[in-house]
Amino acid sequence: MSFWSTLKLLFRKYFIAGLLVIMPLYGTFWILKTIVVGVDDMFFQFIPHALQPKAWFGFSVPGMGLVLTIPIILFVGVLTRVYLGKQLLRAGDWLLSQIPVGNAVYKGLKQLLQTLFGQESAKYSRVVLVEFPSKNQYAIAFVTGESTEMPEAMADDHFIRVYIPTAPNPTSGYLLMVKEEDVIPTSLTVDEASKLIISGGLVSGKSHG
So what's the pLDDT on residue 209?
46
Residue at 189 is within a domain? yes
Model pLDDT, residue 205? 58
Q: Which range marks the domain in which residue 133 is found?
A: 122-198
pLDDT tens digits along 168-202: 877 788 999 999 899 999 999 888 888 888 888 87
**Sequence-ordered list of residues with C-beta below 8 angstroms from that of 176, at least 6 positions apart, any chain:** 130, 132, 141, 161, 162, 163, 164
Q: Is residue 194 part of a domain?
A: yes
Report pLDDT for 72. Answer: 83
pTM of the full structure: 0.49
Under 8 Å between Cβ of 157 and 166: no
- Domain membership flag for residue 99: no
pLDDT of residue 149: 72
Is 179 a domain residue? Answer: yes
**Is 109 inside a domain boundary?**
no
pLDDT at site 140: 94
In the predicted model, residues of the chain with pLDDT beneath 50 are 207-209
Number of domains in the chain: 1
Whether residue 169 is contained in a domain is answered as: yes
